[in-house]
Amino acid sequence: MKTYNIALIPGDGIGPEVIREGVKVANAAAAAEGFRLDYTHFPYGAEYYLKTGVVMPEGGFEELRQYDAIYFGAAGDPRVQPGVIEQQLLLAMRTELDQYINLRPARIWPGVESPVKGAERFDVQIVRENTEGFYVRTGAAFAAGAGENRLQAEISRGMYTCSIDADTSITNGDAYGLNVGLITYKGSERIARFAFETARRRGIGKVSCVTKRNAVPQMYSVWEDAFDAVRTDYPEIETEKINVDAAAMWLVKKPEAFGVILAPNLFGDILSDLAAGICGSLGFGASGNINPGGVSMFEPIHGSAPKYAGQNIANPVAAILAGALMLDQLGEHAAARRIETAVEQAMQAGDFRTHDMGGSDKTDDVGDAICARIV
**171 with 237, same domain?**
no
Which SS3 state, helix, strand or coil, does residue 374 take? coil
d(CA 333, CA 331): 6
Long-range pairs, 64-67, Cβ under 8 A, ≥24 = 64/7, 64/93, 64/97, 64/295, 65/97, 65/294, 65/295, 66/5, 66/295, 67/5, 67/6, 67/7, 67/40, 67/295
**119 with 227, same domain?**
yes
- Contact, 262 vs 191, CB < 8 A? yes
**pLDDT value of position 146:** 67
Is the alpha carbon torsion for 23, 320, 89, 13 positive or negative?
A: negative
**315 with 366, same domain?**
yes
For residues 101-131, one letter each, b for 16 or more C-beta atoms within 10 angstroms of the residue's C-beta and e for the rest, the string is bbbbbbbbbebbebebeebeebbbbbbbbbb
Angle made by CA atoms 29, 343, 306, in degrees to the nearest 5: 100
**pLDDT value of position 25:** 98
Give the domain CATH number at 369. Answer: 3.40.718.10
**14 with 161, same domain?**
no
Last residue of a domain, one of 248, 278, 308: 278
Angle made by CA atoms 113, 28, 23, in degrees to the nearest 5: 75
Last residue of a domain, one of 227, 255, 278: 278
Residue type (1 letter), 101: I
Q: Are strands 2-11 and 35-41 parallel, antiparallel or unpaired?
A: parallel
**pLDDT value of position 74:** 95
CA distances from 245 to 128, 181, 294 (A): 16, 19, 34
**354 with 369, same domain?**
yes
CA atoms within 13 A on the CB side of 326: 33
**156 with 176, same domain?**
yes
- Among 46, 73, 42, 45, which Cα is nearest to 60's? 42
Q: What is the CA radius of gyration of the chain?
A: 21
Residue 2 lies in a domain: yes
Residue 283 lies in a domain: no
Q: Are strands 206-211 and 260-263 parallel, antiparallel or unpaired?
A: parallel
**212 with 332, same domain?**
no
Residue 108 lies in a domain: no
Residues in CB range of 22: below 8 A, 6 or more apart:
71, 316, 319, 320, 322, 323, 367
**192 with 141, same domain?**
no
Q: Which residue range is the domain that position 69 belongs to?
A: 1-99+288-375
Residue 105 lies in a domain: no
Q: What is the domain count for the chain? A: 3
Which SS3 state, helix, strand or coil, does residue 152 take? strand
Residue 304 lies in a domain: yes
**365 with 340, same domain?**
yes
Q: How do the pLDDT tens digits run along the chain, 375 residues long?
A: 999 999 999 999 999 999 999 999 999 999 999 999 999 999 999 999 999 999 999 999 999 999 999 999 999 999 999 989 998 998 889 989 999 999 999 999 988 888 998 888 899 999 999 999 888 777 667 778 766 787 777 777 767 777 878 788 787 778 878 788 889 999 999 999 999 999 999 999 999 999 999 999 999 999 999 999 999 999 999 999 999 999 999 999 999 999 999 999 999 999 999 999 999 888 899 999 999 999 999 999 998 999 999 999 999 999 999 999 999 999 999 999 999 999 999 999 999 999 888 899 999 999 999 999 997
**315 with 371, same domain?**
yes
d(CA 369, CA 30): 17
**pLDDT value of position 159:** 75
**35 with 46, same domain?**
yes
DSSP 86: I
Backbone φ, ψ for residue 183 (5° rounding)? -130, 125
**pLDDT value of position 151:** 78
Count other C-beta atoms under 10 Å from residue 45's C-beta. Answer: 28
Residue 171 lies in a domain: yes
**117 with 141, same domain?**
no
Give the domain CATH number at 227. Answer: 3.40.50.2300
Last residue of a domain, one of 278, 302, 328: 278
